[in-house]
Structure 1
Amino acid sequence: MQKILAKTLFFGISTSASLFITTGSLKANAQNQSFNNTEITSYAQAVLAMEPARQQAFGEIKKIVGGGDVPQIVCSEPNSLNGLPGRARDIAVNYCNHSQKIVNDYGLTPDKFNRITVEIQSNANLKQQVYNTLIRLQKNTNSQ
C-alpha cells in the first residue's frame, strides 16, 4: 500500500510542479546538479505536504472548467492563471501561494524546489533518492 501511495505521489510531483514552475527556463540550469540529503528530504516533505491541497485545487478547478481538460497552470506564469475563469483563478492563486509557503516552511526556496523537480525528470539516481525518501517518510507517518 505504501509503495502504491509513493508511486502516486511521485507521479503527482510532475503535476504539483506544473502548478508551481516553468520548466523550460530551468532545464539548462538544473542538469547534473547534486542535491544533499537534507534538500532531498525537504523536497519530499514539501511534496507530501502539498499533495492534499493540489488534489483539492485540481478537483475544484476541474468542476468549474466542466467536462474539458484543466489547462496547465504555472504559478510563475500569470498568463496561465489569467486564462482561468474567475473562481478557478482564485483557487489556483491560493494553491500557488500555499505551495510557496510550504516549500519555504521546509527550508527550500521555490527556485531550489523547481531545480530538483526538473532534475528528477532526467536523473534516475535523484528520482530514486526522492522515491526512497517518500517511502521512508510515509512509513514514519504511518507508524506514529
Structure 2
Amino acid sequence: MSLDDVVFLPENDTTRVSVGTRESTYRPFVVQDLKAESHPSQSQPPKGPRPVNLTVLSLGALLIQLIIGKVIGSLDMSGNMDMASILEKCEAANRHNGEVLTKGGMNYAAAVKWCLDTGLNVAGLEDDSFCQNFYETVVAKLEDDVKYLTADG
C-alpha cells in the first residue's frame, strides 16, 4: 500500500473552529485491496478495484434528489463508476447536506448520510448485520417520518 492508495473524505457535519479559522476533519479511506502477504495460505481477494455498495450509494443520491425536488446531474450513478467517479459523486452529494436537513429533517438527513457513508463499505444485503443497520438507520427513520407527517391531529 502506498499514499496513492489512500484518499481522505471530508467528514459530514464535523467542522470545528480553531483560533478563528475553519478547519475540516477528514476520514481516511483505502481504495486498494490489501493482501495478506504474511499468510500465503489464505485465499487472496480478487484483483481489481475495491468493491463498493453502489445500491446504497444510489439510494442516498436518489433520496437527495427526491427531497430537493429536482434531478442533479452530478449525482447520476449510471455509466463508468470507477473509484474516482464514486468519490466525486460522494463529494457532490455531501454539498447538499444543509438543504437535505432543511427540507427533510433530522431523520431524513441521517438516512441519507448513512447511505453515503455506508456505500463506501464492502458489506451488502447478503450480510445480516448490514441489513439490520440498514433497516434501523434508513427504513425505520423514514417510516417514523411518514407516520408523523400522516398522523391525524
TM over 0.5: no
Q: TM-score, normalised by structure 2?
A: 0.30
Larger Rg: 2
Q: TM-score, normalised by structure 1?
A: 0.32
